[in-house]
Amino acid sequence: MSETKTGGIKPKHQRLVLLVIALVALIGAGLLAAYALSNQASYFYVPADLVKDPPEQGRAIRLGGMVEKGSLKTRTDGVTIDFVVGDGMSKVPVRFTGITPDLFVEGSGVVAEGRMEGQTFVADNLLAKHDENYVPRQMGDMTQAQAKAVVAETK
Amino acid sequence: MHAFANPARFLRLARWLMPLLLVSGLVLSMGALLYGLLVVPPDRLMGETVRILFIHVPSAWLGMAGWSTIAIASLVELVWRHPLAAIAARAAAVPGAAFTAICLATGSIWARPTWGTWWVWDGRLTSFLILLFLYFGYIALSGAAQRDMASGGGGNRITAIFGLVGAINIPIINRSVVWWNSLHQPPSITAGKSAIDGTFLWPLLIAAVGFSLIFGGVVLARMRTLLAEIQTEARLRRKALG
């Protein structure tokens, strides 16, 4: 392309303006698409979603949230567990038969794959969700407030 | 910026900068990785598998930084017709793809014991896999454009446009864990604060600097190779014609 002047604007600047307009349009389209996807692209429902808009019985869904402290109980058969998944607003009781992942403990995050049967979520598979906190093992026994203080000191 | 439009001046700079970046990068990342492997205590919940963090996170950053390099170089190429920009963009593609692949592989290995699965189709994992496929597409396209050069095709411009359009995936990867519920954890390090304890954070940051230096060194090395290839081809063509 020859570098002739077109209407007083340098071709360089014309290209820059064109590209910037194209990029703004593209990013706008991308953000709109991502925003429209906000429900479909979620990997799981939280308990509040299930309570607000109950899915049909038996449809395969994923439920994610925190395992409520003190809710985990093992049945007499030894492999079936009952626990409650909460998100701070709503709670859903969950039943699962099988081997749980290592990180599955009370107070930690979990994603359960399964379906609603009555008011109970029956899980076929459990995935442990790790949060964004990384804490060395010797600090794990402290209370959360103590651990926070230590983390703040070493930062 | 046009100070480096002259490849000869760039090559003089690259000749000493490349080994410097590679050696310092190797020293820093080996140190950080060994420290992470041998000295750092196990994590409260994850135990020993936390050590994969020191490879996984820097690789993820560089996978994304690689495409950002491609996008910026493509913009410079399209707007200012800078002669080295096309070469810089092409040089960043293979190391970027390699780091993306390392990130996906280490993440998968970590996920098996931690989450209980090798792979899930959540927002973060899926968008990062798309990044790897974008790299593959870019590498194939830029290779075709280079072969097309002899016939004077506009392949370089198409490659640059692809590099720019693909950049839309970068903010999506970055925000995926915030916008959508995902199995992948939200960002631990955000502007000004970190949810990673100091004992893990420092080796992680040093590894990230080391990996970045290696990335820079590899990009410079590939730029030198690509320039030499172009020069050889031009010389051969002149010989054939003369």
Q: Cα–Cα distance between B49 and A133 in angstroms, integer? A: 14
Q: Cα–Cα distance between A53 and B40 in angstroms, integer? A: 46
Closest CA to A86 of A112, A61, A60: A112
Q: Give the type of residue at A27.
A: I
Which residues in chain A are contacts of B36 at CB distance < 8 A?
A: none
pLDDT at B188: 84
Residue A115 lies in a domain: yes
pLDDT at A33: 84
Residue A1: band (very low, low, confident or very high) from pLDDT cuts 50, 70, 90:
very low
Same domain as A32, residue A81: no
Say if B129 is an interface residue toward chain A (CB within 8 Å).
Answer: no
Asked if the Cβ–Cβ distance from B78 to A19 is below 8 Å, we say yes
Domain that holds residue A66: 47-129
pLDDT at A154: 46
Residue with more model confidence, A7 or A98: A98
Kindly identify which residue of chain A lies nearest to residue B175, measuring between CA atoms: A34
Same domain as A52, residue A125: yes
Q: What is the CATH number of the domain that holds A55?
A: 2.40.50.140
| pLDDT at A4 exceeding the cut of 80 | no
Residue with more model confidence, B69 or A53: B69
Whole-angstrom CA distances from A46 to A35, A49, A97, A131, B183 are 18, 5, 21, 15, 12
Closest CA to B136 of B168, B93, B173, B174: B93
> Which value does ipTM take for this structure?
0.71
Q: Cα–Cα distance between A142 and B226 in angstroms, integer? A: 56
* Per-residue pLDDT tens digits of chain B, which is 242 residues long: 555 667 888 898 999 999 999 999 999 999 999 998 898 888 877 778 888 999 999 999 999 999 999 999 999 999 988 888 989 999 999 999 999 999 999 999 999 888 888 998 888 999 999 999 999 999 999 988 887 766 555 778 899 999 999 999 998 898 888 888 888 888 888 777 778 888 888 899 999 999 999 999 999 999 999 999 888 888 888 888 87
Q: Helix, strand, or coil here: B181? A: coil
Give the CA count within 13 Å in the CB-facing half-sphere of B199: 19
pLDDT at A5: 47
Same domain as A37, residue A66: no
Which residues in chain B are contacts of A103 at CB distance < 8 A?
A: 45-46, 114-115
What one-character-per-residue DSSP string does B130-153 give?
HHHHHHHHHHHHHHHHHHHGGGT-
Q: Which residues of A lie closer than 8 Å to B, measured between beta carbons?
A: 12, 15-16, 19, 23, 26-27, 30, 34-35, 37-38, 41-46, 64, 101-103, 105, 108, 111, 125-140, 151, 154-155
Residue A94 lies in a domain: yes
> Domains in chain A: how many in total?
2
Say if B154 is an interface residue toward chain A (CB within 8 Å).
Answer: no
pLDDT at B3: 55
Same domain as A91, residue A77: yes
Same domain as A53, residue A120: yes
User: pLDDT tens, A71-118?
Assistant: 888 888 888 999 999 888 888 999 999 888 777 888 888 899 999 888
Domain ranges of chain B: 53-186+197-241
Kindly identify which residue of chain B lies nearest to residue A20, measuring between CA atoms: B75
Largest CA distance in chain A: 85
pLDDT at A105: 82
Give the CA count within 13 Å in the CB-facing half-sphere of B106: 18
Same domain as A74, residue A28: no
Same domain as A89, residue A68: yes
Residue A140 lies in a domain: no
Query: Whole-prediction pTM value?
Result: 0.84
Residue A58 lies in a domain: yes
pLDDT at B45: 75
Residue A152: band (very low, low, confident or very high) from pLDDT cuts 50, 70, 90:
low
Q: Cα–Cα distance between B49 and A101 in angstroms, integer? A: 14
Tell me the shortest Cα–Cα distance from B110 to chain A, in angstroms.
11
**How many Cβ atoms sit within 10 Å of the Cβ of residue A123?**
23
Residue with more model confidence, B219 or A9: B219
Which residues in chain B are contacts of A138 at CB distance < 8 A?
A: 41
